Structure 1
Amino acid sequence: MSGDVHIQDAIDRVGFGAFQRKLFLICGVTWAADAAEILLLSFALPGVTEEFGLSPGQAGVVVTSTFAGMLVGAWFWGIMADRVGRRLGFQLTIAIFAVFGVASAFAPGPVWLAVLRALTGFGLGGALPLDFALFTEYLPTRDRGRWLVLLESWWAAGTVAAAGLALLIMPTLGWRWLLASSAAAALLVLWARMRVPESARYLLSRGDAEGARKLVNEVARVNGAPPVEQRLTLPSGKGATSPAELLRGALGRTTVLLWAVWLLIGFGYYGIFSWLPQIFAGEYGFLRSYQYVFFLALAQLPGYLSAAWLVERAGRKPVLAGYLGAAALATFTWAIADSTALVFVAAGLMNFFTLGAWAALYAYTPERYPTQLRASGLGAASGFARIGAVAAPLAGGALLAISLPAALSAFAAAFLLAALVVAGYAAETRGTRLDDTVAERTGPVAQAARLR
């Protein structure tokens, strides 16, 4: 061996191939299962409300319990993944949400249902950011933004699956069977996750240069690329870094910005989707509301695909700000719509732009953190989306008691404020190399990291 090579240069040299496609499939199926698990309770909510005789406020508490668990899970598992590794966290989170997700189908009352959904959320909250942290760290620079957005597009597949299951199961078998239907997908995901390797970047950040090189060479073998002979290096430092670094210096300003955006988009998105079946059934009298939600979910797919195309051409910042602004406009148009046709056009556009914005945000966030804090940073940011998700069903219930336009206008305002924060303060990351240490974030290497 002669000389050293930065791990990102080694991954860029190995390129995108069969290894990343397999990892994309595993993470994607996980992402779809997570989305379905989160949304199933929203689709089951009319049946839960009827069986237990819940008021709108009590129903909101049941929905909120999942997001409360996700809030704790996102923060806990993000920090743990930077301590014990991506792979172990990757497996434990899915096991937790599989076990308690199925158990919630047998809840004898609303209190037990809320507790079991909170425990389900504890696993889900960690699963979501860990998927992106692991996948990000195996992506070449040139393909990173596009494939991170495409990974997020599996959320639409999970949404469509959840709506389809609700359409098939709810009218005949009821909400318990709907929640239990997540078992097969969760077990499949757990089986697939057992075959995922550790992140080579993580091993290198812990000082295991030889283990990291072996993993990179395994990727090279699978991709049909030449092996890496040089020693892999980080630009400076190694070992664990305290999560307190997230709030220090320039990284602290980035963290506060991301927390604000995640909080606002979480409030707007979950506020709408927690109540969407109820809105269609109650406000518009659509007897087959799941069918309408199913078709609206299909509008998410072109939103993802357009964002995947644009993030590598226009950049992360304009896509994120633009899609958030368009989502705000579509949601407000829905609020003042006076015809069924306009309702579906506006709601469809809201789906298109909101999910495109989510995709851009999931691509952007891990790019803003160094390897030693990537899972912690993404988990903490994701946790703020769960704060928004906890508040949104409760606020939605209160605002819907006033009027539908009042609720939708509040969610539109959240999207608009998020767009303004991104437009005014976010930095562009297109074409930059991932940072590996906190020192790199503010040091000279960060200034020289731009590749194109």
Structure 2
Amino acid sequence: MKQRDEEVPLTSARAEIHLDEVISSIKFGKFHLKMMILTCGAYFAACTEMMSIVFLSKPVKSEWNLNDMTFPLLPFCGGIISLISSFSFGSLSDKFGRQKPLLVALLFVSVFGIASAFAPYFWLFVILRAFVSLGTSGIETVDFVLLLECLPKKNRGCTMVVITLCGAFGTLLSAALAWIILPKFGWRWFIGACAVPSCVILAYRLWFSFESPRYLYISGQTDRGYEVLKKIANQSNTSLPQGEIVCPPSAERGRVQDLFSKDLRKRTTFSMLVWFFQSMGFWGVTMYLPEYLMSIEIDPYFNMFAVYIGEIPGLCLTMVIIEHRKFGRIRCLRLFSFATALGLLLFAFIGVPIVKTVFVILVYFFMVPIYSILNTYTPELYPTDSRSIAMASMYMVIAFPGIITAFIGATVLSTNISWLYPTVAAGFFSLQFLFTFGLTSETAGQSLNDTKQTIKQDVTSDETLPTPDVPNGCVQNGNCNVVKETDTMDSSPML
């Protein structure tokens, strides 16, 4: 077992204190709760909008007399826009801060979400929903990073999972609205109702607009960063430790080429592969699941509602086991990926309707929490000056499945082979499980890096590495001379 990064006690005698130590010394308090309302609410709104497309296939095709290969152009165009917007929001977030891009993203989702309910033509509807996708991808890119950079490292993983838990409630709301509104009032009222959460969070964001202290420090805005730290400490009934807060500024922020530098290319490559097959599997089984359930004579609306409820206990389990005292990030990822693939195979080949319903609920129990693990683990792998562009790159990667899975799903469903639809998704998750073994840098319980200079190359052996006495990223005489290894957890390839 490798040594874990230990916290260094903060005392008034210390002349220099690293930023990560200062943030970790502040107790969880009112400021963190306010930030969670913003970030969790934004993801709740984004998931409500994203999942609404699952229920639009039948009514939209009926409204405009579309054939089976025309409707997929809706998610296709949304995916194209997401590719562009993810990169743009990630780059802007690393260069200009987290809060302004989040505000723009919420504005797009609110305005175009409501406008799309009034679209008189299919192609105008596609354009308006593409702008909604622009906003939702922006929220996904910035949201997790903003919360992560304000949290102490203790129980950071558990808190980050709460965002995805709120996203699960967003999908649950989308299913509930579809169940209640679609049969009686039609899809336009349904789309309008799905836009309400984003309008509420937009109003909240206009009131609460504190920037990430980590971003402020690495961008050289130390005075503003210190003011935010004081605000966090005051609202948590905590005093900031004495001493000069050290965080080297970085002029080169938000550059995608940095993700493929010598020290980061391995984790970037395998992270992208894991994210890609997560999206292929998730949308592969979700995009036409209501139609698939209908084809095997299972009530789609009620059962989709039950399926989304099944996500919640899975996310609660993740909150318990994701910390370093339990499974950690990597072993959780492997466990849930393997269980999802197995559940899909059982769902495919067991013919009893009630049993199939149980297995599809179990699939979502394991499948959706993988997003929470990845959204926690991925930003922890990267320094502050590249964190948003790293998340943007992952969301660019998962936009590709959004472009193609609608066509794949339509083709598979047209074969009328009942077991084929879930089996294809099971294949994607099997590949994801294999690629998780390329991720060896455990981040649970570790300090976050703020600049590329504090990142070391991935450790792939199980040998115990010596740990320097100086905290991670510590700066002496204005230079970052000593770095503590972040990849210090046991990385043995077991679940």
Name the TM-score class by shorter chain.
over 0.9
Q: Counterpart in 2 of 1:41?
A: 53
Determine helix, strand or coil for the equivalent of 1:5: strand
Unaligned runs of 5+ in 2: 1-11, 458-481, 491-495
The farther-off stretch of 312-321 and 21-30 is: 21-30
Match of 1:169 among 178, 181, 198: 181
Query: What is the rounded CA distance, in whole Å, between the counterparts of 1:404 and 1:72 in structure 2?
Result: 36
Structure 1 contact 6–233 (Cα < 8 Å) conserved: yes
Determine helix, strand or coil for the equivalent of 1:58: coil
2:287 is equivalent to residue 249 of structure 1: no
Match of 1:178 among 173, 176, 190: 190
Match of 1:423 among 417, 426, 437: 437
Over the matched positions of the two proteins, sequence identity in percent amounts to 24
Query: What is the rounded CA distance, in whole Å, between the counterparts of 1:450 and 1:181 in structure 2?
Result: 47
Q: Counterpart in 1 of 2:463?
A: none
Match of 2:453 among 436, 439, 452: 439
Q: Counterpart in 2 of 1:67?
A: 79
Q: Counterpart in 1 of 2:303?
A: 292
Determine helix, strand or coil for the equivalent of 2:17: strand
| 1:259-278 deviations in Å (ceiling 9; x for gaps) | 11111101110122111221
- Relative distance call for 1:404 and 1:66 in structure 2 (3 A) is farther
1:60 Cα deviation from its structure 2 partner: 1.6
Query: What is the rounded CA distance, in whole Å, between the counterparts of 1:233 and 1:222 in structure 2?
Result: 23
Query: What is the rounded CA distance, in whole Å, between the counterparts of 1:426 and 1:389 in structure 2?
Result: 28
The farther-off stretch of 358-367 and 240-249 is: 240-249
Q: Counterpart in 1 of 2:398?
A: 385
Aligned positions of 1:15-414 closer than 5 A: 15-194=27-206, 195-234=208-247, 236-241=248-253, 242-281=255-294, 283-286=295-298, 288-312=299-323, 313-402=326-415, 403-414=417-428
**Aligned AA (1:92):** V
Structure 1 contact 433–451 (Cα < 8 Å) conserved: no
Query: What is the rounded CA distance, in whole Å, between the counterparts of 2:33 and 2:489 in structure 1?
Result: 24
Larger Rg: 2
1:451 Cα deviation from its structure 2 partner: 9.8
**Aligned AA (2:229):** V
**Aligned AA (2:441):** A
- Relative distance call for 1:446 and 1:43 in structure 2 (3 A) is farther
CA RMSD of aligned residues (A): 1.8
The farther-off stretch of 236-245 and 391-400 is: 236-245
**Aligned AA (1:36):** T
**Aligned AA (1:366):** P
With normalisation by structure 1, the TM-score equals 0.95
- Compare the two structures and name the one with the higher helix fraction: 1
Determine helix, strand or coil for the equivalent of 2:184: coil
Structure 2 contact 385–452 (Cα < 8 Å) conserved: yes
**Aligned AA (1:325):** F
1:448 Cα deviation from its structure 2 partner: 6.3
- Relative distance call for 1:142 and 1:95 in structure 2 (3 A) is same
Query: What is the rounded CA distance, in whole Å, between the counterparts of 2:169 and 2:336 in structure 1?
Result: 20
Query: What is the rounded CA distance, in whole Å, between the counterparts of 1:246 and 1:7 in structure 2?
Result: 23
| 1:383-432 deviations in Å (ceiling 9; x for gaps) | 21121222211111111112342221111111111111113434211111
Query: What is the rounded CA distance, in whole Å, between the counterparts of 2:361 and 2:169 in structure 1?
Result: 16
- Relative distance call for 1:278 and 1:63 in structure 2 (3 A) is farther
| 1:110-130 deviations in Å (ceiling 9; x for gaps) | 211211111110111111121
Give the total of aligned pairs.
449
| 1:424-449 deviations in Å (ceiling 9; x for gaps) | 43421111111111111128514168
Query: What is the rounded CA distance, in whole Å, between the counterparts of 2:203 and 2:276 in structure 1?
Result: 32
The farther-off stretch of 251-260 and 434-443 is: 434-443
| 1:153-201 deviations in Å (ceiling 9; x for gaps) | 1111001100000111101111111111133211111011221310000
Structure 1 contact 210–231 (Cα < 8 Å) conserved: no
Determine helix, strand or coil for the equivalent of 1:445: coil
Unaligned runs of 5+ in 1: none
Structure 1 contact 318–423 (Cα < 8 Å) conserved: no
Structure 1 contact 69–117 (Cα < 8 Å) conserved: no
1:237 Cα deviation from its structure 2 partner: 4.8
